[in-house]
Chains A and B, each alone.
Chain A
Amino acid sequence: QKEVEQDPGPLSVPEGAIVSLNCTYSNSAFQYFMWYRQYSRKGPELLMYTYSSGNKEDGRFTAQVDKSSKYISLFIRDSQPSDSATYLCAMSPITGGGNKLTFGTGTQLKVEL
């Protein structure tokens, strides 16, 4: 079993839809949770970063963490064609000093006109 599970998609939605992207994890040591957006042949771009259970909102993006269920989500409201990309969840333990991130495989999202 992988430490981080993420549905690879592809996920296709109409413009304006609410998108829900999810990851589950098995390592209870993970305390920091991130979502990255990656366009084709580009480096990942940090979208959201959180270290506590609950919701964090930034513009059209909302990150949700449920540590008791080991489940994290990213919601995108009013989705746009420019949101079409691969979304990677990533997480790391609470210990400091050069922590390595563990990534999900990424979910490919396509927002259609």
Chain B
Amino acid sequence: GAVVSQHPSRVICKSGTSVKIECRSLDFQATTMFWYRQFPKQSLMLMATSNEGSKATYEQGVEKDKFLINHASLTLSTLTVTSAHPEDSSFYICSGRGLGEKLFFGSGTQLSVL
């Protein structure tokens, strides 16, 4: 299957700092990237959808100024959590849409904000 590389896998930061998470589609072109958040023992919650070269579309309740998404190329999308707070601590996962409706997921980033 297609590969999506996500980095870093784990990050610990101080409250008030910004954290950037990077996702790359290695062997396919992802015109659409999805960003999810997952709390322990819960399912994936879609945060935003980004299409290459255009602004991301955010789900209701997700602050676009706090979660900055950039999808500048067909193989790279980034999520920046600005001014992170402890309540932002979560598992963040990206996915790229390949052929048809299949989604291929990154390995996730565990964010811990102290």
* A contact residues vs B (CB 8 Å cutoff): 8, 32, 34, 36, 41-46, 49, 51, 88, 90, 92, 98-101, 103-106, 108
Question: A103 to B110, alpha carbons, bound, how many Å?
Answer: 20
Query: What total of A-B pairs shows CB separation below 8 Å?
Result: 58
Cβ–Cβ contact B91 & A103, under 8 A: no
Question: A105 to B100, alpha carbons, bound, how many Å?
Answer: 23
Question: In the complex, which residues of chain B have a beta carbon less than 8 angstroms from the beta carbon of A105?
Answer: 42-43
* Contact A92 B43, CB 8 Å, known A41-B110, A43-B6: no
Question: A100 to B101, alpha carbons, bound, how many Å?
Answer: 9
Chain B interface size band reads 20 to 34
**Chain B residue nearest to A6 in the complex (CB):** B43
* B32 contacts partner chain A, Cβ-Cβ < 8 Å: yes
Cβ–Cβ contact A46 & B49, under 8 A: no
Question: A51 to B6, alpha carbons, bound, how many Å?
Answer: 28
Cβ of A90 to closest chain B Cβ, rounded Å: 8
Q: Which of B49, B100, B107 contacts A43 (CB 8 A)?
A: B107
Question: A108 to B40, alpha carbons, bound, how many Å?
Answer: 12
